[in-house]
Amino acid sequence: MKFWKFLITSLLTVGIAIAFSAFAGQASVVDFPADYQTKFFQYATVDCPKSQIVRKMYVNREVVNTIKTRKIVPSTTVIAMETHSARIGSNGHLMPNQLNNVFVREKQTGWRVSNDSGEWQSAWYSPSGNLVSSSQGSCISCHTMVRDRDYLFTLPALLKAANTGQIQYQKTEFGTSVCQ
C-alpha cells in the first residue's frame, strides 16, 4: 500500500515537473528591456527619408565584446529598436520629434519559432513598455529577407559599431516602411 502511494506521488511529481519545464521552455513574450536607454549600447541610427522615420538600434552591452571578437551575434543578445517620427530639418536631415514604438528581438539557444527564423523571438512595445503585439509571424516574414545576416538587417552596422565603439549612421537599405 505504502509502495503504491509512493509510486503515484513520484509519478505525479515527475509529471508536473515535465509539464512545467515544457511550459518554461515555451515561447513566452520577449521582455521589454526597461533600462535599454541607459544600459544598452546604441549601435545605429537609420534614416528612412521616404516615410520620414528615424530608427535607433540598441544592443545589450554584455554581448558587445563577443560580437567584436568572434564576429557573431551570440545567444542572450537583445536588440531594441526605437522608431521616431521625424521632420526634415533646415539642413535637409531628418530630425526625430516623437518616439512611437520599441521593437525588440532576443536570441536564445534553442529558440525556434519557425524553420526560418533563426533563434530569435520578437515583441512590439509602446515607448512606456506596454506590449502592443507578441505575434511572431509578421516580424519573421520580413526578417527572413536577411537570413544570411542572422535575420538582422543591421548586422553590418552592429559588427562595425562593436569593432569601433562608434554609432553607425545610415539610410535604410530597404524600401520598406515597416517597423513604423
Interface residues toward ligand HEC, by CB under 6 A: 46, 48, 55, 57, 79, 81, 103-105, 122, 124, 133, 138-139, 141-143, 152-154, 172-174, 176, 178-179
* Cβ-contact 83, 180 below 8 angstroms: yes
Q: Which is nearer to ligand HEC, 68 or 149 (CB)?
A: 149
Q: Which is nearer to ligand HEC, 90 or 128 (CB)?
A: 128
Name the residue type at position 167: I
CB of 8 to ligand HEC, least distance (A): 45
Q: Which is nearer to ligand HEC, 98 or 133 (CB)?
A: 133
Q: Which is nearer to ligand HEC, 135 or 164 (CB)?
A: 135
CB of 148 to ligand HEC, least distance (A): 13
CB of 124 to ligand HEC, least distance (A): 4
CB of 146 to ligand HEC, least distance (A): 7
The three-state DSSP-derived secondary structure of the chain is: CHHHHHHHHHHHHHHHHHHHHHHHHCCCCCCCCCCHHHHEEEEEEEEECCCCEEEEEEEEHHHHHHHHHHCCCCCCCEEEEEEEEEEECCCCCEEEEEEEEEEEEEECCCCCCCCCCCCEEEEEECCCCCEEECCCHHHHHHHHHHHHHCCCCCHHHHHHHHHHCCCEEEECCCCCCCCC
CB of 123 to ligand HEC, least distance (A): 6
Q: Which is nearer to ligand HEC, 152 or 161 (CB)?
A: 152
